[in-house]
Amino acid sequence: MLKKKSMNKKLKFGLQISIPIAIGLVLFWLVFKNIDLQNFIDIIKNTNIWYVILYFIVSALVILCSVFRWNLILLSQKHKINYIYLLKAYLAGYGVSYITPSAKLGGEPVRAALLGRQGLKTHESLSTIIIDKTLELSGSALFFVIGSIILAINYALPDNLKFLIIIISIIFLGLISLAIYQIVSEKGFVIIIYKFFKLHKLKKLKNFTEKLIDTEKLIIKFYKKDKKHFFAALFVMAIAWGLMFIEFKLAMLIFGFNANLLQIFLTFSVVGAAYLIPVPFAMGTLEGGQVALFNTINLNSAIGFGVGLLTRVRDSFTAGIGLIIATYYGVVKKKNITKSYQFNQNVFKDKSRKEK
């Protein structure tokens, strides 16, 4: 009986991994088959190697800025951790996030585990990671909203697509506004989401609920009282955004296209949105988003496909380094990797049982 249950769990886990990947591969193929292959090969042949080198240097600087931002958040709580160790923790988390369909969130338990080895309590490590991710995801959401509005106003889009863009933009703006209001009023936004899914009523999460309340207090403290570190983190994030614009400028120069500021902004917005879609590796969504964008703004879709592939190569290389680091520290375990796959399913399952 136990053996049968174990087999069923393995089968379920296998399906949870394989189905999103299969969907991503189908999306990738649909994008690839509609590309002019000869045009794409010609573009690849004419790539500028010096731009490629500069591109990867700037990408590395973006990562260093992200780690420095996280370090500022830790310093706001009087935690002084070696920068190199933080860099390794960040990359380890990035590696696990990359292979899980969790909107860049699957690797956060790994980051928390590595912070725990430096003496931080659970609610302390969680608060710094949540603050870091809310800053990052809020930025991505805002860029997506602004980029979507620009597309809807300046380019000929089908009416149903314009409607969808408006709805998604309103949802993103609503969530951001709600988070800001909850922080300003000192009610907290993480605990609201937690209670919305009735997670506080689950016996298994009773201890975690108490830790989450302590976590929320530290998050509110950072945004409302630690003005020095908050504005410093925003400044570092602004530098990172500037570097990202340079990064995407170089990405298009690699393929012989000298993009203007608006085109770079739209490309940057689409990449951020692609990683919010729950498909491992952003398979198909990354390239598909770029091709769709380049078609919409009347540019060579083969260049868009090339930019998407280049972004994938960079992210895969970074994630590979991160997974090696995570393996070295022994934090790549089945329970950490499967957590992001199984969490939502378990939440809704438990919630439906209680409602019955």
- Is residue 204 situated within a structural domain? yes
Residue 161 counted as domain residue:
yes
Q: 75: domain range?
A: 60-347
| Within-domain flag for 29 | no
Average of pLDDT values for 140-144?
80
Q: What is the pLDDT of residue 344?
A: 41
Using the 8-state DSSP alphabet, how is residue 105 labeled? -
- In this model, does residue 281 exceed pLDDT 60? no
Distance separating alpha carbons of residues 100 and 296, to the nearest angstrom: 30
Long-range contacts of the stretch 243-246 (C-beta < 8 A, 24+)? 243/58, 243/61, 243/62, 243/65, 244/62, 244/268, 246/58
Is residue 285 one of the residues assigned to a domain? yes
Structural domain includes residue 99: yes
* Least confident stretch, 74-78, 141-145, 226-230: 141-145
Indicate the range of 236-240, 249-253, 269-273 predicted with least confidence. Answer: 269-273
Distance CA 216, CA 91 (A): 25
| pTM: predicted TM-score of the whole model, two decimal places | 0.77
52 part of a folded domain: no
% of the chain residues with pLDDT over 70: 68
Highest mean pLDDT among 48-57, 118-127, 137-146, 250-259: 48-57
* pLDDT the model gives residue 349: 46
Q: What is the pLDDT of residue 59?
A: 94
Long-range contacts of 191-200 (CB under 8 A, 24+ apart): 191/216, 197/347, 197/348, 197/351, 198/350, 198/351, 198/354, 199/347
Instruction: Say how many domains are in the chain.
Output: 1
pLDDT value, residue 348: 38
Q: What is the pLDDT of residue 145?
A: 83
In a domain, 48, yes or no: no
Strands of 132-234 (E only): list them. none
54 within domain boundaries: no
pLDDT above 60 for 262: yes
